[in-house]
Amino acid sequence: MSGDPEQEFFADGIAEDIITALSRYPSLFVIARNSSFTHKGRAVDVKQVGRELGVRYVLEGSLRKAGNRIRVTTQLVEAETAKHVWAERYDRDLADIFAVQDEITEAVTIALAPAIAEAEQQRAMRKPPGSLDAWTAYQRGLWHFDKVSAEDNALARKFFQQAVGLDPSFAGGYKGLCAVVSNEADYAGRGLSETLSSAEALARRAVALDGTDAEARSLLSTALRRRGDYEGGLAEAERALTISPNMAGAHYAKGASLISAGRAKEGVAALERSIRLDPRRSAVRFNQIALALYFTGEYDAAVDAANRAIRSSPDYPNPCRWLAAALGQLGRIEEAKQALEKAIAIAPASFRMYVGERAPWRRPENHAHMLEGLRKAGWREE
């Protein structure tokens, strides 16, 4: 804002790095630097910018410097309505100009992708069902999927199928169906082998449509891990992170694969990174942290992680099972019994399936460890 060429260089560097970072997200259509920079340094009408560039959202920002301190302000605006979707301010000491530039770029990118995802879901929910295109149907499916309940999972399946029907070449519909199918065993407890095969086929279809889609690679990672292929799952997660280093789903897939492979500490670190990148979908990630801590005997910490998952999504059945087992191991029997009752009540068929038979991704010693905790909580084999 000062007209200082050195500051302009710094601001341009941040803008260019953000464009590069956001372009790695397969769900975002990002205008290139040359087109974006035609609007630099002048007052513009956001609605006009949206029409000229063919975009739904505009990210704008400014930089001020005082002594050795800089302040970067930035806001995301919905072009059609000029409504502010997100805004933030970053104050930094200007010790190493490139380090600060990288730090601000990462902070903005991490905050922006979930903000746009949420705005797109809200936009999709405003449209009449009869006017949905494949992208909007996909976003509507994601809105229900994020609710993490059996009923919303079923509704998400309907919209993802609609997306595939509207555009069979759109990878999003297959990605959504893969995620929904993976959840169905958790809610309904039926056909685990068939469910796992179907999820893998859908993930492979999405990857075949776009091999550079990090979300598709992350889903394939999860599908392989759940079939018991830990190394395959880890390899696909690493491929996803090479494509999009700040994608929350890829860090989740990596963390879950590491935990299944017996590398709990590394896995928990990846999951914590995933939660920081996208706090909205924390229930499944805290559940993975809970079971990792349980398997390493950190029962108090497992209780805390399971409770955080339950607070995030009360109808998600899996963390109740780990909460009951961890409380059982701690000798907190009354609390353990309550958690056990809830775990069974939310999804009785799923509970019977996961307790009665060892899931392919669960090591025999870990399955036995889980049963030990559940028995202490009051569970008895039928």
Instruction: For residue range 357-373, list pLDDT tens digits in order.
Output: 899 999 999 999 999 99
pLDDT tens figures, 279-303: 878 999 999 999 999 999 999 999 9
CB atoms within 10 A of CB 188: 16
CB 206, CB 175: distance < 8 Å? yes
Q: Final residue of a domain: which of 126, 145, 175?
A: 126
Distance between the two ends of the chain, CA-based, in angstroms?
72
pLDDT tens digit sequence for 238-247 = 999 999 888 8
Confidence bin at 229 (pLDDT 50/70/90): very high
Instruction: Output the DSSP codes for 313-375.
Output: -TT--HHHHHHHHHHHHHT-HHHHHHHHHHHHHH-HHHHHHHHHS--TTS-HHHHHHHHHHHH
| 116 and 66 both lie in a single domain | yes
Integer Cα distance of 136 and 130 in angstroms: 11
Element (H, E) at 26: none
Residue-level pLDDT at 382: 66
CA of residue 163 relative to chain centroid, distance: 20
Name the percent of the chain lying above pLDDT 90: 60
Percent of the chain with pLDDT over 70: 98
pLDDT at 23 over 90: no
Contact (Cβ atoms closer than 8 angstroms) between residue 306 and residue 327 = no
Specify whether 71 is located in the same domain as 135. no
Clarify whether residues 41 and 177 are in a common domain.
Answer: no
**Predicted pLDDT of residue 190:** 66
Report the CATH number at residue 347: 1.25.40.10
If asked whether residues 108 and 152 sit together in one domain, one would say: no
Q: CA nearest 247: which of 267, 209, 286, 219?
A: 219
Averaged pLDDT, 209-215: 92
Task: Tell me if 322 is assigned to some domain.
Answer: yes
Q: Quick one: 259 and 168 in the same domain?
A: yes
Q: With beta carbons less than 8 A apart as the criterion, state whether 240 and 233 touch.
A: no
Indicate whether 226 and 342 sit together in one domain: yes
- Domain assignment present for residue 294? The answer is yes
**Confidence category of residue 2, pLDDT binned at 50, 70, 90:** low
Nearest to 104 by CA among 118, 93, 119, 120: 93
Is residue 18 assigned to a domain? yes
Query: One-letter amino acid identity for 259?
Result: I
Clarify whether residues 114 and 138 are in a common domain: no
Of the residues 126, 160, 190, the one at which a domain ends: 126
Query: Could you say which of 88, 105, 126 is where a domain stops?
Result: 126
Strand locations in the chain (E)? 57-66, 69-78, 83-93
Count Cα atoms within 13 angstroms, Cβ side, for 85.
25
Measured from the Cβ of residue 101, the count of other Cβ atoms closer than 10 Å reads 21
**Cα-based distances in Å from 304 to 265, 307, 325:** 16, 5, 13
Is 381 domain-assigned? no
**What is the per-residue pLDDT across 65-90, written as a single tens digit (0 to 9) for each?**
888 888 889 999 999 888 899 999 98
Q: Is the residue at 382 inside a domain?
A: no
Same domain, 57 and 19: yes
Claim to verify: residue 51 and residue 120 sit in the same structural domain = yes
How many whole angstroms separate alpha carbon 234 and alpha carbon 217? Answer: 10
Same domain, 290 and 196: yes
Residues 225 and 372 in one domain: yes
Q: Which amino acid is at 138?
A: Y
DSSP conformational letter for 56: S
The verdict on residue 349 lying in a domain is yes
Residue of 128, 130, 156 whose CA lies nearest to 143? 156
Is the pLDDT assigned to residue 27 strictly greater than 80?
A: no
CATH number at residue 83: 3.40.50
Its domain, for residue 329, covers 129-376
3-state secondary structure of 227: coil
1 pLDDT band, cuts 50/70/90, is low
- What DSSP character marks residue 183? H
Q: Are 67 and 181 within one domain?
A: no
Q: Is the pLDDT of residue 267 over 90?
A: yes
Q: How many CB atoms lie within 10 A of CB 4?
A: 12
| Residues near 9 by beta carbon (within 8 Å), at least 6 away in sequence | none
Count how many domains the chain has.
2
